[in-house]
Amino acid sequence: MEKQSNVGICELCGNEAVLQDSHFIPKAIYKKFSNIKEKGTSLYLMNNGESFPLSTQIKAHKFCSKCEGLFSKNGEQYFIDNALYQRALISEEQYSQKPENERRFKSYQEYIKNNIPYLVRFFIENIGYTTNIIEYIKPALSETEIDSLCYFAISIFWRGSLQWAIKPQYNLPNDVLREMKDYLLQKNKNITTFVIKIDISPPCYYVSGVNFPAKIRDDLYRFSIDSFIFTLEILTRPSSNGEYLLFGFNFPIAKSNFENFKRLFDKSEKKGNVPDELHYLKK
Ligand SMILES: [Zn+2]
């Protein structure tokens, strides 16, 4: 018999259905990090000042299987395949210390070049890293790719407004929530109340992890996954110019994202019996 306790109202479509074991941050992303982590290291989850090996993921019975399918098909898979490193990146020093038979590339530069995900390469070639704040621009990606990135970003920002077991919720204005839900349910693609800006961390501020969605200001929310920093900016006046997904490079944002992650990790109480140094934070 089906477990009756899992039947409820799906928080996205509003239909009564068997609710899935839904994840705040998609399960496939945990899985990806798990696959690419260095041998002998652990994944960490930081919450409320504690840091512990990632065995419990933030999840709850929230969405029906149909809506879970929408999340996965419309955004997650594209992001995972094109934005995330396929394996853990190590420093130049660590690379040079590897035994010769484990160094597949002639130089560290070659090693880096061969591991760069498609979207990071696209970003470097089209926008580039600069120490000056540049204007955010609509990326020259196909409509489908822009939709996939947008869908992914909206799904995470929207999920941040829901109640999860161990993550404090933030509220988003009703008109923003309405547009987000309509977009996620594919009822309306017209976004007018907010803009999503994507910054990419340069190697010196790279965080191999997730900064959960958080409110920065009433009109500003942010999360990051791997090199990608997503910022949701709520507009004071609705705009319908179709430029709701922008790419840019803002050095202070990358720096503060990195420092925020490092500060949270350093001050967290370490749980579990595993080494608690993050190799890529050693600078
Ligand atoms: Zn649903």
225 Cβ contact list (under 8 Å, min separation 6) = 25, 29, 79, 83, 84, 210, 211
What separation in Å is there between the alpha carbon of 185 and the centre of ligand 1? 9
Residue 176: how many other CB atoms lie within 10 Å:
23
- For the chain, the structural domain boundaries read 4-281
Q: Is the pLDDT of residue 67 over 90?
A: yes
Give residue 207's pLDDT: 77
What separation in Å is there between the alpha carbon of 154 and the centre of ligand 1? 16
pLDDT, tens digit, 9 for 90 and up, residues 159-180:
999 988 766 679 999 999 999 9
What separation in Å is there between the alpha carbon of 10 and the centre of ligand 1? 5
What separation in Å is there between the alpha carbon of 183 and the centre of ligand 1? 14
What separation in Å is there between the alpha carbon of 68 and the centre of ligand 1? 7
- Helices (DSSP H) in the chain: which residue ranges? 27-36, 65-71, 77-83, 92-97, 108-115, 118-126, 143-159, 174-184, 251-267
pLDDT, tens digit, 9 for 90 and up, residues 204-259:
887 777 888 889 899 999 999 888 999 999 999 988 888 899 998 888 888 888 88
What does pTM read for this prediction?
Answer: 0.84
Q: Is the pLDDT of residue 60 over 80?
A: yes
Q: What angle do CA 197, 200, 203 make, to 5 degrees?
A: 165
What separation in Å is there between the alpha carbon of 62 and the centre of ligand 1? 8
What separation in Å is there between the alpha carbon of 274 and the centre of ligand 1? 39
Give residue 92's pLDDT: 79
As a whole-number percent, the residues of the chain with pLDDT over 90 amount to 38
What separation in Å is there between the alpha carbon of 170 and the centre of ligand 1? 22
What separation in Å is there between the alpha carbon of 55 and the centre of ligand 1? 27
Give residue 251's pLDDT: 83
* Residues facing residue 233 across a β-bridge: 195, 220
What separation in Å is there between the alpha carbon of 72 and the centre of ligand 1? 13
User: Residue 121 is encoded by which pair of tokens?
Assistant: 């390469």
What separation in Å is there between the alpha carbon of 19 and the centre of ligand 1? 8
What separation in Å is there between the alpha carbon of 12 and the centre of ligand 1? 5
What separation in Å is there between the alpha carbon of 169 and the centre of ligand 1? 20
Quickly state the pLDDT bin for 54 (edges 50, 70, 90). low
Quickly state the pLDDT bin for 282 (edges 50, 70, 90). very low
What separation in Å is there between the alpha carbon of 198 and the centre of ligand 1? 28
What separation in Å is there between the alpha carbon of 136 and the centre of ligand 1? 34
User: Residue 278 is encoded by which pair of tokens?
Assistant: 């993050």
Give residue 182's pLDDT: 97
What separation in Å is there between the alpha carbon of 124 and the centre of ligand 1? 37
What separation in Å is there between the alpha carbon of 182 and the centre of ligand 1? 12
Quickly state the pLDDT bin for 28 (edges 50, 70, 90). confident
As a whole-number percent, the residues of the chain with pLDDT over 70 amount to 82
